[in-house]
């Protein structure tokens, strides 16, 4: 894998009333994820979902929602930042439903329509697997709803987090 150069962010927070208390820093279990090389799935992306492991450290959830013992956390400070590399920690959103954000970490061959229910699953971004959003199917957990669909692959989809519930 080549070293990443400058890249556009994969996440844009849109909620103007994002409470600071809902952003927390946690140590990352594998600090290689904070370098520009990362692991086999590349560096930790902003917009990727992670979970807290039993040691209280952030862990990547590449195979998707089945990796989550608790609630998924949205990474808002990914790899390549001086502060994340220095501290070995990443910032995540941990808060109430209602966070609105634009993300590029979604299953590019899904067609999101406004109001589509979304779950967390393995998605391919830049030829590597990340835990991102895709359309929910019957019986799956729903974590977000599409607010504005992306116009094409590689574009931002605008979504809003919701209280976890299951598709009928």
Token pair recorded at residue 123:
């998605």
What global pTM score does this model have? 0.82
Enclosing H/E stretch for 124:
strand 117-125
Residue 85 backbone phi and psi in degrees, to 5: -70, -40
pLDDT in tens, 131-162: 888 898 888 888 889 998 877 777 888 999 88
Q: Comparing 129 with 82, which gets the higher pLDDT?
A: 129
Helices (H), the chain: 82-87
């Amino acid at each position: 894998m080549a070293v990443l150069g400058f890249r556009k962010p994969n996440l844009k927070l849109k909620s103007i009333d994002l409470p600071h208390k809902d952003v927390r820093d946690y140590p990352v279990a594998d600090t290689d994820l904070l370098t520009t090389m990362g692991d086999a799935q590349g560096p930790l992306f902003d917009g990727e979902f992670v979970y807290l492991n039993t040691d209280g450290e952030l862990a990547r959830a590449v195979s998707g929602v089945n990796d989550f013992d608790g609630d998924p956390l949205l990474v808002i400070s990914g790899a390549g930042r001086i502060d994340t590399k220095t501290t070995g920690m990443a910032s995540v959103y941990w808060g109430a439903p209602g966070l609105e954000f634009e993300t590029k970490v979604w299953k590019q061959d899904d067609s999101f329509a406004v109001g589509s229910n979304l779950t967390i699953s393995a998605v391919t971004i830049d030829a590597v697997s990340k835990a991102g959003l895709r359309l929910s199917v019957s019986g799956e957990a729903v974590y977000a709803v599409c607010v504005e669909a992306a116009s094409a692959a590689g574009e931002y989809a605008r979504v809003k987090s919701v209280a976890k519930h299951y598709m009928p």
